[in-house]
Amino acid sequence: MKFFILTIYTHHSELGIRNSELMNITIIGLGLLGGSFGLAIRQAQAANRVIGIDLNQEIIDRACERGAIDEGHLDSVEAVREADLVVLAMPVRTIIDTVSALADCLSEKTILFDLGSTKAAISRKIAALPIAVRYIGGHPMAGTEQAGIDAAAAGLFSGAPFALVPPAPVDDEAVELLSCLIRAIGAYPIIIPADRHDQIVAMTSHLPYLLSAALVQTAEKTAQTEHRLWDFVAGGFRDTSRVAASNVRVMTDICLTNQKPILKGIEQTQQALAQMAVWIKEGDQQALEAALTQSKATRTRVFGERGTTLATKKVSFQGERGAFSEIAALEYFGDAAEPIPQPWFDDAFKAVELGHCDYGILPIENSLAGSIHINYDLMLQHNLHIVGEIKLRIVHNLLVTPGVSKTEILQVQSHPKALEQCVEFFRDNPELKSETVYDTGGAAKMLSESGARDIGVIASTRAAEHYGLEILESGVEDNPQNYTRFLVLAPEPAEPEGDRIKTTIVFSVPHESGTLFKVMSAFALRDISINKIESRPLIGSPWEYFFYLDFEGKANSLQNSRALNHLQEITTYYKLLGSYEEGRTVDRG
């Protein structure tokens, strides 16, 4: 077995990491992916120096010629032992066979990262190791039918999704570092669990390969008796059978390490083909056309919108991973969301305003606790626009270190608002003392890091999954009708779509009798429905206020624009914060 090792020296600061120490990356496996990874790093100037280490001098020489490395060596031990990041760019079963011996060479700080096409089998192997390893799985959704260092290309990952698959509890520092590195080479990271990743790629990558191979085999058998078959092959067959030319060893390895999801996909495809066969046999034109039309529409929608629907959207939120704001971001943007945690609400606004994030998502109102006043104030301080909203049910759970029983717990930690919403739980459990911390997700993170057995936390189901905690009790909140409304903020306004549009404005009026009544009249006279009005103190002018107003419809509709023109004749300050579609309600918090 040959190992090809590529070492990259780079600075964390160049990747967006707040650390100036020199970073040493070792890539094991200098084929298509490993070589392309090195080329991409160098092209992005994300490395000061690239060193390749290989057991084959010819590979080293060729890597130097291609510009994938600056120099090469045959000794690999020190490159692994001193690395900050070790990247395994080999077939999955080779990775599985390698990690046991490799783990003994890694320092405690070293992050182990792989580019394998399936993740669950590798994750299970890593978890079973007798020593702890800082492991994050990876899978770039990019490639060609070619293999080897000569097929490597710096642009291979450009614009491609790049799966990051961290095991629980999640190493947030490692995920952040790898996310920055992935963005530096032009790809966009998507964080996803191993099982879900394998199910998805079975359908989108592995099954298409098998279908392509089966089509070529069937055609070849037919060609044995119909010798003119290949003379009639055109673009359709060529496009459909393209992936059959992929690296056979790699694809065999993939199929045998992702058996269950692939077999399920084969079964589903067989059922779909069997149904089509029935329609064809029976001459059922209507059913066949309906199915084919649906398939055509789906493909057109997916690939026609690919540039906008699949591109990662960096979304800032206040709190740690597992916070309800992160859940809101994932629900609103789906798999395109890359939530970026921020320590304070002001930081979440600034991240968008400074261009570090594409969007921000901030809680503005809770159905039990009322408005989140600080975010109303921050909307006035920052030049951002409301472009959407979502309403999320808040479900609180009691989380503990795995294996801990309720009788061992002495203290329960969470955000003060979360604790206030669980008063009945503490009344029923008077032996438990409550302690406030800065965030629900932060409480889960601290418990995961400490492993304490006498502490529980109140947080979300996602926090439990992310930090590897156990849910001891679900739904410990006092009132199930506990919802939070989140606003989606962007640097530029967006034209809203949909049937239910609302607009938010902020204004102030002279401290004179009847002025607020006149403002309300501007809407009432035009039968414009007002959803909400919120007042906030005008700092520096005691007993004067800013008023935040939500009303139905677009700001630029004829009726609403007249009302707003009327309003501006009365107000001393006016700002349009945004028109946006009324958000859906998500009941699974």
HSE value, Cβ hemisphere, 13 Å, CA-based, for 388: 19
Catalytic residue numbers, as ranges: 484, 486
The amino acid at residue 15 is L
State both tokens at 325.
């704001």
Give alpha helix (H) positions in 338-473: 345-353, 373-381, 416-420, 423-428, 440-450, 461-467
Could you tell me which residues come within 8 angstroms of residue 179 by beta carbon, excluding any fewer than 6 positions away?
A: 164, 189, 338
The residue to which tokens 């044995």 are assigned: 224
* Residue 479 DSSP label: -
Compute CA distances 527 → 229, 497, 530, 531, 544, whole Å.
71, 22, 9, 13, 28
State both tokens at 454.
């006498």
HSE value, Cβ hemisphere, 13 Å, CA-based, for 527: 0
Compute CA distances 23 → 10, 89, 456, whole Å.
5, 19, 37
Distance CA(409)–CA(429), nearest Å, equals: 11
Distance CA(115)–CA(185), nearest Å, equals: 14
| Cα radius of gyration rounded to whole Å, the chain | 28
